[in-house]
Chains A and B, each alone.
Chain A
Amino acid sequence: MSASVRTRRSMAWTLGLALLLLLATWLSIALGSLRGGVVFEPGWLSSLTADGDGSLHAKVLLFWRAPRAVASIIVGACLAVAGLVLQGLTRNPLADPYLLGISGGAGLAVVLLHALPALVVDSGWWLVPIAAFTGAQGAGLLVLGIGRSWGTGGGRLSVLGLLLAGIVVNAFCAALMSFLLVRFDPFRLRITTLWLAGGIGFTRWEQLMLVALLALAAWIYLRISAHRLNAFALGTTGAVAVGVDAHRLLHRAALVSSLLTGLGVSLGGLLGYVGLIVPHVVRRLAGSDFRSTLLLTAVAGGLLVAVADTVARLALAPEELPVGVLTALIGCPVLLLLLRVQLRRGAP
Chain B
Amino acid sequence: MTMARPIHLVCCLLCGGCPTTPARPAASQIQITDDHGHTVSLAHPARRIVSLSPSNTEILFAVGCSERVVLRDRLSSFPEAARRLPATNPFQLSPDHVAGFSPDLVLLTHADSSRVEALRRLGLAVAILEPRSLDAVYNDIHVIARLCGSGPRARRLVQRLKRRVQAVVQRVRGRARPSVFIETDGTDSLKPWTCGRGSFVDQIVRLAGGRSVTATLDRPFAQVNAEEIIAANPDVILAMGVDRQSGARGLQRLRSRQGWSSLEAVRQGRVIDTIDADLLSRPGPRLVDGLEALARALHPAAWP
**A residues apposed to B, CB below 8 Å:** 32-36, 48-50, 52-54, 56-57, 59-60, 62-65, 121-122, 125, 128, 182-183, 185-188, 190-191, 194, 199, 201-202, 204-206, 209, 313, 317-320
Contacts and interface: CB of A to CB of B under 8 A. Distances in A.
A205 B36 contact: no
Report which residue of A54, A59, A128, A202 has the largest number of chain B beta carbons within 10 angstroms of its beta carbon. Answer: A202
Contact of B113 (A34, A57, A121, A320): A121
Given A56-B122, A64-B122, A191-B112, A49 B95 contact: no
A183 to B, nearest CB: 7
Nearest to B103: A56
A50 B4 CA distance: 11
18 contacts: A34-B100, A52-B5, A52-B9, A52-B20, A56-B123, A59-B121, A59-B122, A59-B123, A63-B118, A63-B121, A64-B118, A125-B113, A194-B92, A202-B117, A204-B121, A317-B97, A318-B96, A320-B94
Report which residue of B94, B101, B111, B221 has the largest number of chain A beta carbons within 10 angstroms of its beta carbon. Answer: B94
A129 to B, nearest CB: 11
Interface in B127-172: none
B235 to A, nearest CB: 27
B274 interface: no
Interface stretch (B10-18, B226-234, B254-262, B292-300): B10-18
B5 to A, nearest CB: 5
Nearest to A57: B99
A190 B99 CA distance: 24
B96 A122 contact: no
Bin chain B's interface residue count: 35 or more
Given A52-B9, A56-B123, 17 more contacts: A33-B100, A36-B97, A49-B1, A49-B5, A49-B9, A52-B8, A53-B12, A53-B17, A60-B96, A63-B118, A65-B96, A186-B185, A204-B16, A206-B16, A318-B89, A320-B92, A320-B94
B115 interface: yes
A136 to B, nearest CB: 19
Contacts of B121: 59, 63-64, 202, 204
Given A56-B102, A56-B123, A64 B96 contact: yes
B122 A63 contact: yes
B181 interface: no
A209 B117 CA distance: 18
B91 interface: yes
A121 B111 CA distance: 11
A54 B97 contact: no
B40 to A, nearest CB: 15
B86 interface: yes
Nearest to B92: A320
A59 B220 CA distance: 37
A63 B94 contact: no
A35 B97 contact: yes
Contacts of A206: 16
Contacts of B1: 49-50
Contacts of A121: 113
Interface in B236-276: none
A308 B21 CA distance: 35
Nearest to B17: A205
